Amino acid sequence: MSVLSITGQELLDIVHKDVDDFSLDAGYYITDSSYAVPELTYMMSNVYNSFTKWLKFIGLDRKPGQKQFWHRKFDCENLASLYKSYCDLLHYKTNPLSFTENSKAKKKNKSDSEGLAVGTIWYDNSKAPNSQNLHAINAVITQRPGAKNLSVVYIEPNNGSQLTLTKKEKESIWYAKF
Amino acid sequence: MVRKILKKLFKFKDIEDYHAELYPEMKYIEDLQPKKKYKRAKK
């Protein structure tokens, strides 16, 4: 059985379907031609646990309290970008062979997709009217347990939890990069 | 051999051991659709 791969356009369609009324001014950036679809439960458990170990390894210590990985000069958008890069790194390390090597070698890559369907999104999560609280998190295109179709799952990289974005929050997304 | 003894006695770790812990193999959703077989066009 092969790994599920979607094109950049298919990924964009899934994101647009999730955000019913997305802002036309929003920038959605698709930087790879094809994307492998990661398994959700594995992402939420093993990948997140290793991510926290990796943060410690690169010198980002965990603090007590809610904003455990945040620092004044290393906050939400830095952490979300790092989480995406870490997942991309795992995708590369799982599939290190080049096209030519893969066709010749006995051991094959699991996936030949250029990218992994993990992105970063920037949005407004303010609760009070006429206020603004900008935040960055990660979005994963995956298949929820028991679901047939692919959908978007939002993850808070600070604690590894799954987030449910309100309609207003989804509509406030102004930048997304996969 | 010395590395093996060190690993066993002092729980000494090689860089590869750290890598295995820090970079687990990614798991993906499998494509359940059967692969299309290439058929040569009849002349």
* ipTM of this complex prediction, to 2 decimal places: 0.85
A4, A87, A89: residue with CB nearest B31 = A4
> Which pLDDT does position B20 carry in this prediction?
84
Greatest extent of chain A over all pairs of C-alpha atoms, in Å: 60
- Phi and psi at B29, nearest 5°, equal -75, 135
Selected for mutation to probe chain B from A7, A10, A11, A37 (highest B CB count within 10 Å) is: A37
CA–CA dist A143, A124 (Å, integer): 26
For the residues A60-77, what does the mean pLDDT come to? 80
Residue A24: pLDDT above 70? no
pLDDT at A21 over 70: no
| B34 Cα to chain A: minimum distance (Å) | 8
Partner B contacted by A103 (CB < 8 A): no
What pLDDT score does B34 carry? 67
The two three-digit tokens of residue A170, written as one number: 């989804």
Burial class (CB in 10 A: 0-12, 13-18, 19+), A32: middle
- Helix residue spans in chain A (DSSP H): 8-18, 40-42, 48-57, 76-94, 99-104, 167-171
Q: Are strands A151-156 and A161-163 parallel, antiparallel or unpaired?
A: antiparallel
Distance CA A7, CA A36 (A): 9
The pLDDT, as a whole number, for residue A8 is 94
Is residue A27 over pLDDT 80? Answer: yes
CB A116 within 8 A of CB B26: yes
Arithmetic mean of pLDDT, A22-48: 90
Cβ atoms of A151 and A131 closer than 8 Å? no
CA distance B35 to chain A (A): 9
Predicted confidence at residue A40, as pLDDT, reads 96
Q: Which residues of B touch A36 (CB under 8 A)?
A: 26, 28
| Record: contact B35-A2, CB cut-off 8 A | yes
CB of B35 within 8 Å of a chain A CB? The answer is: yes
Say whether residue A90 is in contact with chain B using an 8 A CB cutoff: yes
Residue A1 has pLDDT above 70, yes or no: no
Pairing of strands A115-116, A134-142: unpaired
Average pLDDT, chain A: 90
